[in-house]
Structure 1
Amino acid sequence: MFLDLFINEFLLPITISTEILENWTTKDGEIPQTTLEIFWDKLKEISTYGFTIEEFQKAMLLLCFIRFIIYSIKYNIFTSFKICAIGFISCILWAMALNDCIGIYYPNLALHPLLRNAYREEIMYREVALARAGERLLDDLVKQTNTNSYPFDWITPIFGKFPSTISHITDPIYVFIRRDFFETIKQFYKTNLRHLVSIFVYVGCVRVGKKYCPYHIRWHFTFITLYNTFMPYIFSCTMRARQFLYKVLIPQQRFEEAENMELYIGAWVFVHISFIMIAMIHAIFSQYFYIPFLTYSVELHVGKRPKTSIYSGGYTAWQDNFNFFNIKLSDTLRLWWGFLGKGTKNQRKNNKT
């Protein structure tokens, strides 16, 4: 009974979206299927239409919770919390990249069957966001008719002390501060500073405050920063391919080429999103991964993993063979570094000797 209660009240709500649960429940609120049938149906749905982003993020939370329990038994609660928190923060960084990727690739999500659930989820998200934007616009219009709703009300008595002889100077300043100053600052932030926030945070945490930032977070944060430098070009190439599809191939009735282009675009979007999801799984388990040139560039910034610390995460066998600033091209292009980066058998033997 306790197991069924745990699954129905805790496990299902955090791993399965609310809409799917509502479809599975009867009017009385009872689940007509057994737990095994529910998970089997969900597995078939995922294998056909893929995850929604919400479901995948909830799965990461579940894995983090299970990991916390295991490490609490192995070490203690505080050590387990630190280890899992480090992996969780790194996973959040990749989750932000995943959300950006879904938003940019939104028109192309329908081109791959395993992204259909994510596509439907993004449609609903945009509908909700549009409704909220309308509500905010209505609130702004209401605020404009109500002078008491403007910020900086505390400056009214200050400006009231100025003599009326200079009111032609002070009144415009007062109106600007009360009505336009806050919006001007907010607009300046959106247009000039928002896109630099991640760089400021990166410099503050990874470069300036690296003494207080765990190596695992610095590694993944640096990788994402490097990843973000060339992703706009890939996004733009995908968008140009879509424009070529709908503005050239289809109008010219080159349908066979159009079908191939749809397959190429859908496959690339799926590979890109899958890469970020796999990176999230690596991060939540405090693991690392090796990609030629990129990983090497990341570790030139953050250095080698401190092997003596239990908070540094998984294995990085490629660092054992790397002589920074004097690396061989063959080592850079190497893809297999053993299971979970532990190294190959020969490499482990050499390390022991």
Structure 2
Amino acid sequence: MSVGRIRYDWQEAEIEAIYNTPLLELIYQAASVHRQYHNPKQIQVCKLISIKTGGCPEDCNYCAQSSRYKTEVKAQALLEKETVVSIAQKAKETGVSRVCMGAAWREVKDNSQFETVLEMVQDVTSMGLEVCCTLGMLTADQAKRLEDAGLYAYNHNLDTSREHYSTIITTRTYDDRLNTIENVRQTNVTVCSGGILGLGETASDRIAMLHTLANLSPHPESVPINILSQVPGTPLENQPDVPIWEIVRMIATARIIMPASDVRLSAGRARLSEVEQAFCFMAGANSIFSSDDNKMLTVTTPCPDYDSDREMLNLLGLEMRPPATREVKVSTPATVG
């Protein structure tokens, strides 16, 4: 097996063998691959803005924003464009290079709210930031309109394996998710798609999800690895924490089989110590979400703040990565000085 080569014909047995490699050897292999394709000194710092919070009709068992569960999250209207631009400007001033806008929608609808989102994308993109949106299911025409507005990336996670998926979500199918990714692929917008650890899945489920992602051609340019935040009032509120070494193992495997992709240490990072995060970076994670209000997507998902993240990066000898250009990244090894 050639480690570090970009390929789209992975077998699950191959991924399983990588996943089960002795941990320190796995981290070493992943770190070696990471250095072939990325600058190991750089971490992209992202800001997630919930532009439309709560009231979602879907039944994702982990989500505080579902209208089906009684959580602390209250449904709110779409934010004003000026509010979003102001938040993005403050984030840029702290070194953030990517702003992600999330709306608690099942799907994008062709209405005035979508028109407002398109204006948000245009205005924040014009600030020199990468803009990512996660708005639910998307048609090919809507994806094209987002591209025309300047969108850099679209996030649509698979969450888990096809086999485990129906135990977590029943209001949309696995193929619905793959279809949205395919619609985005018809444009020049990059794809951000990963999963969540801690949904009651097995190691085989994690491997199967990675297998699906790694056999997409091209690979998602971004692969977020989220850690479940147990939200009171949701069906998964009593799930146990995912052990740190399972998180590291997942990041390292993703790095090896999708070497040119950004692997994003996303939701759930707040419960990890600096030492644990350092292992994640060594294993190939090269992106984090940071905030100025200790929240990520909702009031129930904590997120480290800019100051503590800056201190951590300085301690580890890491620096914030600047925004990428509008063009889709080419999957070739980077030169690291």
Q: Same fold (TM over 0.5)?
A: no
Greater length-normalized contact order (CA 8 Å, ≥ 6 residues apart):
2
Give TM-score, length-normalised by structure 2. Answer: 0.26
Structure with larger Rg: 1
Counting helix residues as a fraction of each chain, which structure ranks higher? Answer: 1
Counting strand residues as a fraction of each chain, which structure ranks higher? Answer: 2
